[in-house]
Amino acid sequence: MSVLDLFSLEGEVALVTGGTHGLGMAVATALAEAGATLVINGHSADRLEKALKIYRDKGIDAKGYLFDVTDERQVAESVARIENEVGPVGILVNNAGIIKRIPALEMTLPEWNDVIATDLTAPFLMSRAVAAGMIRRGRGKIVNMCSMMSEVGRNSVTAYAAAKGGLKMLTKNLATEWASHNIQVNGIGPGYFATEQTAPIRVDGHPFNDFIVGRTPASRWGDPEDLGGTAVFLASRASDFVNGHILYVDGGILASLGRAANEY
Rg over alpha carbons for the chain, rounded to the nearest Å, is 18
Alpha helices in the chain (DSSP H): 22-33, 45-57, 72-85, 109-116, 122-137, 158-178, 207-215, 228-235
Laid out side by side, the sheet with 89-94 consists of 63-66, 37-42, 13-17, 89-94, 140-145, 183-190, 246-249
Domain boundaries defined on the chain: 3-194+223-257
Query: What architecture is domain 3-194+223-257?
Result: 3-Layer(aba) Sandwich (3.40)
- pLDDT tens for the chain, residues 1 to 264: 799 999 999 999 999 999 999 999 999 999 999 999 999 999 999 999 999 999 999 999 999 999 999 999 999 999 999 999 999 999 999 999 999 999 999 999 999 999 999 999 999 999 999 999 999 999 999 999 999 889 898 889 999 999 999 999 999 999 999 999 999 999 999 999 998 878 888 988 889 899 899 999 999 999 999 999 999 999 999 999 999 999 999 999 999 987 665 555
Q: Quick check: 245 and 188 in contact, CB under 8 A?
A: no
Q: Quote the CA–CA distance of 166 and 32 in Å, as a whole number.
A: 29
> How many angstroms from the chain centroid is the CA of residue 233?
14
Q: Quote the CA–CA distance of 123 and 186 in Å, as a whole number.
A: 12
Half-sphere exposure of residue 96, counting CA atoms within 13 Å on the CB side?
Answer: 30
Active site residues: 160
For the entire predicted model, the pTM comes to 0.95
